């Protein structure tokens, strides 16, 4: 497998990493990933049949020797600057997808992603606040 990812695969990897952070991928998280890939303009032209193999390749790398550091390094290298905030926004979207409290390990992972990409602190705060507003319960 090549170490080089497409930008779309890198975005999927970010979502998979966040979804897997608590050792389980919920149905809400998986549905959110699928909806994102089907609807966001950044995924235009992405072969939907490649979603599962892309996610599985990420999970394999996470479990491998290079682990999370390797995945984040590949993601950072694959993403052009203008998509790094997008990647962080997608990570936060998946973290918020369960609608409840975000566990500490996921918050720590979001911080690692923010530093790996890197995403400016003010931009990250705005992204986080927007997700909190979208997932607020009545």
The pLDDT, as a whole number, for residue 29 is: 80
Q: Show pLDDT as tens, one digit a residue, over the chain (138 residues).
A: 455 899 999 999 999 999 988 777 777 788 889 999 999 999 999 999 999 999 999 999 999 999 999 999 999 999 999 999 999 999 999 998 877 678 899 999 999 999 999 999 999 999 999 988 888 777
pTM, two decimals, is: 0.92
Domain ranges, ordered by start, for the chain: 7-134
The pLDDT, as a whole number, for residue 1 is: 44
The pLDDT, as a whole number, for residue 37 is: 97
The pLDDT, as a whole number, for residue 31 is: 86
Rounded CA separation 111/119 (Å): 10
Q: CB burial class (10 A; 0-12, 13-18, 19+) of residue 19?
A: buried
The pLDDT, as a whole number, for residue 103 is: 85
CATH assignment of 7-134, among 1.10.357, 1.10.3470, 3.30.230, 1.10.3680: 1.10.3680
The pLDDT, as a whole number, for residue 62 is: 93
């Amino acid at each position: 497998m090549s170490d080089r990812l497409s930008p779309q695969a890198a975005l999927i990897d970010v979502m998979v990493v966040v979804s897997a952070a608590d050792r389980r991928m919920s149905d809400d998280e998986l549905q959110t990933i699928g909806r994102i890939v089907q609807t966001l303009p950044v995924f235009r032209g992405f072969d939907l049949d490649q979603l599962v193999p892309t996610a599985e390749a990420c999970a394999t790398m996470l479990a491998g020797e290079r682990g999370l550091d390797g995945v984040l390094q590949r993601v950072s290298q694959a993403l052009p600057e203008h998509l790094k905030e997008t990647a962080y926004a997608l990570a936060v979207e998946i973290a918020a997808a369960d609608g409840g409290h975000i566990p500490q390990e996921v918050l720590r992972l979001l911080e690692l992603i923010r530093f790996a990409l890197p995403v400016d602190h003010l931009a990250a705060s705005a992204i986080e606040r927007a997700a909190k507003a979208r997932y607020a319960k009545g």
